[in-house]
Chain A
Amino acid sequence: MKLEILAALNAEREARRAAVLVTEIATGKQRLVREADLASDPLAETLAERLRMGKSGMAETPAGDVFLTVQAPPVRIVVTGAVHISQALAPMARLLGHDLTIVDPRTAFATPERFPDAPVHAEWPDDVLPKLGVDRYTAFVALTHDPKIDDPGLIHALRSRCFYIGALGSRKTHAKRVERLTAAGFTDKDIARIHAPIGLPIGAISPAEIALSIMGEITAALRLKPASAAQAAA
């Protein structure tokens, strides 16, 4: 692999843009195809399909066998709420290779001391989320319990193609949330994208256990159905 190809691969990942590296097995010749340039590549159709599935693999072409290294951007988790559960989520995300970002306008909570593992934005979600660029490789998690903070985040997430949306709160809390979101113009189908109550049902009690159940649910959304509604619509 030429160093400039390796550097370009790393740069694309850093910029959260998908890319496919094509390696001709017989000759070792390689080219990097950025998502934006995909349509003009001779293997456009195959590359687009692999990218959609997010799967690297061999492919047969008229010119011989090629290996396609599919590089999707790393998963990012955006959390509203610099709370206990988030403090447990941050190191778990790091272990899993995901980028996690905390958003909470309450400056007493949103301090770097409480979150050594993750960037913290002490701002309102409606200001920060558009800047972060919530894409289809992003999971959004609402954990403040406070509609003033969670709702603007949820609204932004529902308008995005993010692959997972979860919101903390009891069934009763969620029922009220559904009423507010319906009043804000979202359909039942939109609102059904929200996992609530959040997390897999593992009987979680402590903040770390709840974080584990949330991370399990995010992993399931990522791995069990790569062609989720949001991605299929892409």
Chain B
Amino acid sequence: MLATDNDIMNRAEAWRREGKGVAIATVVETWGSAPRPVGSHLVIDDDGNFLGSVSGGCVEGAVVTEAVDVITSGAPKMLEFGVADETAWKVGLSCGGRIRVYVERVD
């Protein structure tokens, strides 16, 4: 079943209460045709399990990797993703938009 905001934020709280390391990623700005609106959440635990989405699948992998770092360090991070280009295997948004994602640990 598709996760709702309700499921996502409750899951983050439940994971933390179970003693897991947890990070919350939030879309804070978008430009152009971004796939998910500002305020969308992805929650991640320290095993790399996640629920929700910030981009409809384009950059979730990268956000999860960064989130695991944030869980370790405790310092919030601002990530920015732009258009996928052919120069590298770098992740990006094929829709042509740009997004900023704020990742923070649940303490």
Known: A1-B104, A6-B13, A23-B102. A97 touches B38 (CB 8 A): no
Contact assessment for B106 and A25 in the assembled complex, using a CB-CB cutoff below 8 Å: no
**Chain B binder among A7-15, A141-149, A153-161, A171-179:** A7-15
Known: A6-B106, A25-B102. A57 touches B38 (CB 8 A): yes
Known: A28-B104, A57-B38. A6 touches B5 (CB 8 A): no
Question: How long is the Cα–Cα vector from A95 to B28 in the complex, in angstroms?
Answer: 25
Contact mask B68-89 → A, CB, 8 Å, 1/0? Answer: 0000000110100000000000
Known: A1-B106, A6-B106, A10-B13. A74 touches B4 (CB 8 A): yes
Contact assessment for A7 and B102 in the assembled complex, using a CB-CB cutoff below 8 Å: no
Closest partner residue, chain B, to A56 (CB atom): B39
Contact assessment for B39 and A6 in the assembled complex, using a CB-CB cutoff below 8 Å: no
Chain B interface residues (CB < 8 Å from chain A): 1-2, 4-6, 9-10, 12-13, 16-17, 24, 26, 28-29, 37-39, 75-76, 78, 102, 104-107
Contact assessment for A10 and B4 in the assembled complex, using a CB-CB cutoff below 8 Å: no
With a CB–CB cut-off of 8 A, which chain B residues contact A13? 5-6, 9
With a CB–CB cut-off of 8 A, which chain A residues contact B17? 3
Give 22 CB contacts A-B under 8 Å: A1-B24, A2-B106, A2-B107, A3-B13, A3-B16, A6-B9, A7-B13, A10-B9, A13-B5, A13-B6, A13-B9, A23-B104, A28-B75, A55-B39, A56-B28, A57-B38, A67-B102, A69-B26, A71-B5, A74-B6, A95-B2, A97-B2
With a CB–CB cut-off of 8 A, which chain A residues contact B2? 95, 97
Question: How long is the Cα–Cα vector from A10 to B29 in the complex, in angstroms?
Answer: 23
A70 contacts chain B at the CB level, 8 A cutoff: yes
| Interchain CB contact (< 8 A) of B28 among A3, A7, A67 | A67
Closest Cβ of chain B to A117, distance in Å, is 11
A230 contacts chain B at the CB level, 8 A cutoff: no
With a CB–CB cut-off of 8 A, which chain B residues contact A71? 5
Closest partner residue, chain B, to A98 (CB atom): B4
Nearest 10 interchain pairs by C-beta: A56-B39, A97-B4, A28-B76, A67-B28, A56-B38, A6-B13, A1-B106, A57-B38, A3-B16, A1-B104
Contact assessment for B104 and A58 in the assembled complex, using a CB-CB cutoff below 8 Å: no
Closest Cβ of chain B to A90, distance in Å, is 13
Closest Cβ of chain A to B82, distance in Å, is 18
Question: How long is the Cα–Cα vector from A57 to B104 in the complex, in angstroms?
Answer: 17
With a CB–CB cut-off of 8 A, which chain B residues contact A95? 1-2
With a CB–CB cut-off of 8 A, which chain A residues contact B102? 23, 25, 67
Closest partner residue, chain B, to A9 (CB atom): B9
With a CB–CB cut-off of 8 A, which chain B residues contact A28? 75-76, 104
Closest partner residue, chain B, to A95 (CB atom): B2
With a CB–CB cut-off of 8 A, which chain A residues contact B10? 10
From 7 to 36 in chain A, residues with beta carbon under 8 angstroms from any chain B beta carbon are: 7, 9-10, 13, 23, 25, 28
Contact assessment for B26 and A6 in the assembled complex, using a CB-CB cutoff below 8 Å: no
